[in-house]
Each structure stands twice: as C-alpha cells, then as structure tokens.
Amino acid sequence: MKAKYFISVIGGSKASAADLRIAEEVGGELARAGAAVVCGGLGGVMEAACKGAADAGGLTIGILPGEHRESANPYVQIPIVTGLGFTRNSIVAKSGQAVIAIGGSYGTLSEIAYARISGLPVIGIDTWKMSRRSEEADFILRVDNAREAVRLAIARIEEKAE
C-alpha cells in the first residue's frame, strides 16, 4: 500500500478506555483516507491507532525506543528500531506531516513540542493545553472526534502543499 499522507498519532502508553476507543477510530479514519499511521510503536494509544488502521487495511509504522523490533505492538507493520529511548519522540513527531495527539503524558507533551518547533500542525483530542506566562497561547487545534481530527490534519497538510 502506498500512503498519500503520513500522520503521527501520539498519546500515552497507559490510556483511558475513552482515549483507546478514539485512537482506534483515528487509525481507521486515517487508513480510509489513505494515510499511514506513524507512532511510537508500543501500547496504549499507539497500539489502538495501529489496530484501527490495520483493521481498515492501512499502513502502520512504529518508531521504537528500544533495540528490538519484537517490542512493537502486534499491529505495527514497519517497526523502526532506534535504541534512542525517549529521544525517539522527535522522530515520531517529525515523521508525520501532521500530528494527532490523544490524551497523553510527558512523552506526548515532548512530541507536541517537537511538532510545533517543526511547524507541523497538531490536532488534539483531550490532550495537553499550552500557555505562555499568563496568556493563553494554545497552538493545538482542538476537536472532539476522530473523523474531525483526520479531516483537519489532511486539510492542514494540503493547505501547506499549496
């Protein structure tokens, strides 16, 4: 399968049932839109997004923190071994043309930061809020559902290409 888009899906390895459901829906929507799912390759949101994409016939890529491709979740089709630990978060973020953040902890926060530094659009579903000093400076495009997240990610990619 050739992917038309590469979209990073980020979120916690420990996630709520709601976040896992949304992540699986996002993965499925991405696959149906012709997008490859790029993620950290492990469990939680990453596994749920890969499952949704794989079930819909999509391509999944896992950027792994460790030394062994066997550590990838069972839905990762292309495991990329880095041996970089959390440093691989920059690769996860920058390998996508857009990022969809679902929930998440500090690893997700670092991926959001790498994406923003690189000028990539970040679409968020129940994830971190950003502010600077006392002013609200949220650079995350907020949505409530998987379909809107994917639609907005692809729209931003296409706007940038024009």
Q: pLDDT tens-digit profile of 127-160?
A: 998 777 666 666 899 999 999 999 999 999 999 8
40 pLDDT higher than 70? yes
- Taking the C-alpha atoms of residue 71 and residue 7, their distance in angstroms, rounded to an integer, is 21
Strand partners, 141: 123
More confident position, 130 or 85: 85
Domain count, the chain: 1
Do 126 and 45 form a contact (C-beta atoms < 8 A)?
no
pLDDT at 109: 95
Q: What pLDDT is recorded for position 136? A: 61
Q: CATH number, domain at 156?
A: 3.40.50.450
- Does the structure show a pLDDT above 80 at 1? no
Residues whose CB falls within 8 Å of the CB of residue 88, separated by 6 or more in sequence, listed in order: 40, 63, 64, 65, 82
* Parent domain of 80: 5-161
Examine the pLDDT at 51 and tell me if it is beyond 70.
yes
The region of weakest confidence among 6-20, 36-50, 123-137 is 123-137
Please provide residue 89's backbone torsions phi and psi, each rounded to the nearest 5 degrees.
-60, -35
Instruction: Say what the pLDDT of residue 3 is.
Output: 84
For residue 153, the Cα-to-chain-centroid distance in whole angstroms is 11
Q: Is 32 exposed, middle or buried (0-12, 13-18, 19+ CB in 10 A)?
A: middle
